[in-house]
Amino acid sequence: MGGTSGLGLSAAKAFVAEGARVVVVGRDAEKVRAAEGMLGVHATGLAGDAMRPDTAARAIALGVERFGGFHGLYHVAGGSGRRQGDGPLHELTDEGWAYTLSENLTSLLYSNRAAVRQFLAQHTGGSVLNMSSVLGWSPSPKFFATHAYATAKAAIIGLTQSAAAHYAPQDIRFNILAPALVATPMSQRAQADAAVLNFIKTKQPLDGGRIGQPADADGAAVFLLSDEARFVTGQVLAVDGGWCVSEGQSGDSIQ
């Protein structure tokens, strides 16, 4: 889910390169067609909104029909709710709260639920990988004060780990990737802000201090969805350039 741009598309390319057969899902039909063209014969696409309860089930059914089975789900779909009214708590609107939780948390509920139902119906194990964010537990009040978004990303961890515990006896695994600031369409505001870029030099100090690239998370996604991680469940892996272990600085003190 959310496989036609940014982190999702990059991961889909990595999955195909490793021999997987992939169904990519996105809202924009034109972007879905473009993704299919890039991924080749081992992928197909579905235009649909992850915020609708039937989209994930339709995508899974398409994968079973086209490729003969269903083994894993990667839920990347989500985004910023700033334009709808997300922000610091005293500015957060009811509309911003509802939209941001729907886009980031309820959409994930729908896809995870559809995946588990399919695994149980197949009497097989399977792997679910969810996208959270370091903002779910490591806030940045100066530059990223979107409290509905942070709430949704924290709740993803609770839902994922609860499901990991419940379905482990059925060999259904649930894990989480949590990136920091990555260069995706969602982060264009931050990418264009000189103060944010200055902050990132010390908050994400790995590899020279930079914004992450979608491909930085591909190896982790491939591993956690594959049989190589067959004994791994309920884990949160921060792919964050050092965000969670770095204080970060802002202002003129950074050279």
Domains and CATH numbers, the chain: 72-245 (3.40.50.720)
Q: Beta strand pairing status for 72-75 and 43-47?
A: unpaired
Cβ within 8 Å of residue 55, ≥6 positions away: 1, 25, 46, 48, 49, 110, 111
Cβ within 8 Å of residue 39, ≥6 positions away: 12, 13, 16, 22, 24
Q: What is the DSSP letter of 135?
A: G
pLDDT mean over 184-206: 88
Q: What is the C-alpha to C-alpha distance for residues 155 and 3, in angstroms, rounded to an integer?
A: 22
Q: Name the catalytic one among 74, 110, 149, 167.
A: 149
Query: In this structure, what token pair is assigned to residue 106?
Result: 């309820």
Structure confidence by residue, pLDDT tens digits, 91-128: 999 999 999 999 999 999 999 999 999 999 999 999 99
Please state the pTM of the whole predicted model.
Answer: 0.93
**At 133, which amino acid appears?**
S
User: DSSP secondary structure string, 205-255?
Assistant: -GGGT--B-GGGGHHHHHHHHSGGGTT--S-EEEESTTGGG-----STT--
CA–chain centroid gap for 79, Å, is 9
Q: Considering the chain, what is the average pLDDT of its residues?
A: 94
Structure confidence by residue, pLDDT tens digits, 155-175: 999 999 999 999 999 999 999
For this structure, is 74 an active site residue? no
Structure confidence by residue, pLDDT tens digits, 67-96: 999 999 999 999 999 999 999 999 999 999
Q: What is the C-alpha to C-alpha distance for residues 106 and 236, in angstroms, rounded to an integer?
A: 19
